[in-house]
Amino acid sequence: MLSVEGLTKEFGSLVAVDDVSLELRQGEIHGLIGPNGAGKTTTINLITGELSPTRGSVEFNGEDIAGLAPEQITQRGIGRSFQVVQYFPEMTVRKHLRLAVRDPTRTVGTAFGRREDLSEEIERVAELAHLGDELDTVAKNLAHGQQRFLDIALTLAVDSEVILFDEPAAGLNQSETDEVKELLEELRGDYTMLVIEHDIDLVRAISDRITVLHNGAVLTTGTPEEVVENTDVKEVYLGE
Ligand SMILES: Nc1ncnc2c1ncn2[C@@H]1O[C@H](COP(=O)(O)OP(=O)(O)OP(=O)(O)O)[C@@H](O)[C@H]1O
């Protein structure tokens, strides 16, 4: 489904991402972990087109998408959820989703037509993202955790097949983190997800497989059990 081969990004003399290969299997939750500066966010930026790779390929459903513009990559079904949520403070959840939900006919209708046609889809996405009761709340009045769900909802609304999460639980308290975990579990199987996360308990609990990056390179990929038992991981990542 999505496969990254030999991906490399150099910033001057710094090799931020160094010959990274990883494969996302259909429907899996794949954790991406590593110490600060390991190259996790840069890897995601290379997949989403925010950055162009120095070398390497990103193959998605049989097409090399490396170097395409971010909009083209989004259109192909790769969505991204940001660490810092971007929203319009005075706009309701419904309005956000109305702007984001992909028109199933892929045609641009009138504002009225769009509104009428898409209300069911807007409600479905809001329910999925735990915002079913907040459709008429303006974004600035959502609780902190709910703002993160709004960001996730926007990714779901554009009909993504693959979702790349950059620290979905960053800055959230324990109960909000638990709700993020619940949400990711609910999405499991319907979406293919790559999740950068510093909360190791969360990553271990949700991931089918985990890739560990260190100094830009892949240290290992395996099941959560394999990864925590890996001697290299213990040494460089857990400091043991
Ligand atoms: N635009 C850039 N220009 C120069 N160096 C960069 C740029 N973006 C990232 N880097 C460097 O590349 C390396 C990898 O950064 P990256 O943000 O991908 O790491 P990370 O694993 O996501 O770290 P963190 O967990 O702290 O977010 C770091 O040394 C960082 O300083």
- ipTM for the predicted complex: 0.96
pLDDT the model gives residue 107: 42
The set of residues, in sequence order, having a beta carbon less than 8 Å from that of 199 and lying 6+ positions away, is 169, 177
Give CA–CA dist 162/225, Å, rounded: 24
pLDDT the model gives residue 84: 61
Give CA–CA dist 102/189, Å, rounded: 21
Atom 12, ligand 1: residue with shortest CA distance: 16
Q: Tokens for 122?
A: 């807007």
The dihedral formed by the CA atoms of 188, 189, 193 and 197, expressed in degrees to the nearest 10: 30
Please answer whether residues 170 and 181 qualify as being in contact, where contact means their C-beta atoms are separated by less than 8 angstroms. Answer: no
Q: What's the CA-to-centroid distance between 193 and ligand 1, angstroms?
A: 21
Closest ligand 1 atom to Cα of 216: 14
pLDDT the model gives residue 75: 86
Q: Is the CB of 155 under 6 A from ligand 1?
A: no
Give CA–CA dist 10/2, Å, rounded: 22
Atom 26, ligand 1: residue with shortest CA distance: 36
Give me the residue spans of the domains in the chain: 1-77+161-179+188-239, 85-104+115-159
b/e per residue, 41-76, with b = 16+ CB within 10 A? Answer: bbbbbbbbbebebeebebebeeeebbebeeeebbeb
Give the SS3 label for residue 55: strand
Given a cut of 70, the residues of the chain with pLDDT beneath it are 82-85, 102-116, 237-240
152: left (phi over 0), alpha (psi -120 to 50) or beta: alpha
Please answer whether residues 43 and 212 qualify as being in contact, where contact means their C-beta atoms are separated by less than 8 angstroms. Answer: no
Residue type, 147: Q
Give CA–CA dist 95/153, Å, rounded: 12
pLDDT the model gives residue 85: 66
Residues 99-126: pLDDT tens digits?
888 654 444 444 444 545 788 889 999 9
Q: Is the CB of 207 under 6 A from ligand 1?
A: no
pLDDT the model gives residue 46: 96
pLDDT the model gives residue 106: 41
pTM of the model: 0.90
Q: Which listed CATH number (3.30.420.40, 2.30.29.30, 3.40.50.300, 3.10.180.10) goes with 1-77+161-179+188-239?
A: 3.40.50.300
The 8-class DSSP code of residue 150 comes to H
Please answer whether residues 61 and 1 qualify as being in contact, where contact means their C-beta atoms are separated by less than 8 angstroms. Answer: yes
pLDDT the model gives residue 239: 63
Which residue is associated with the tokens 């009045």? 141
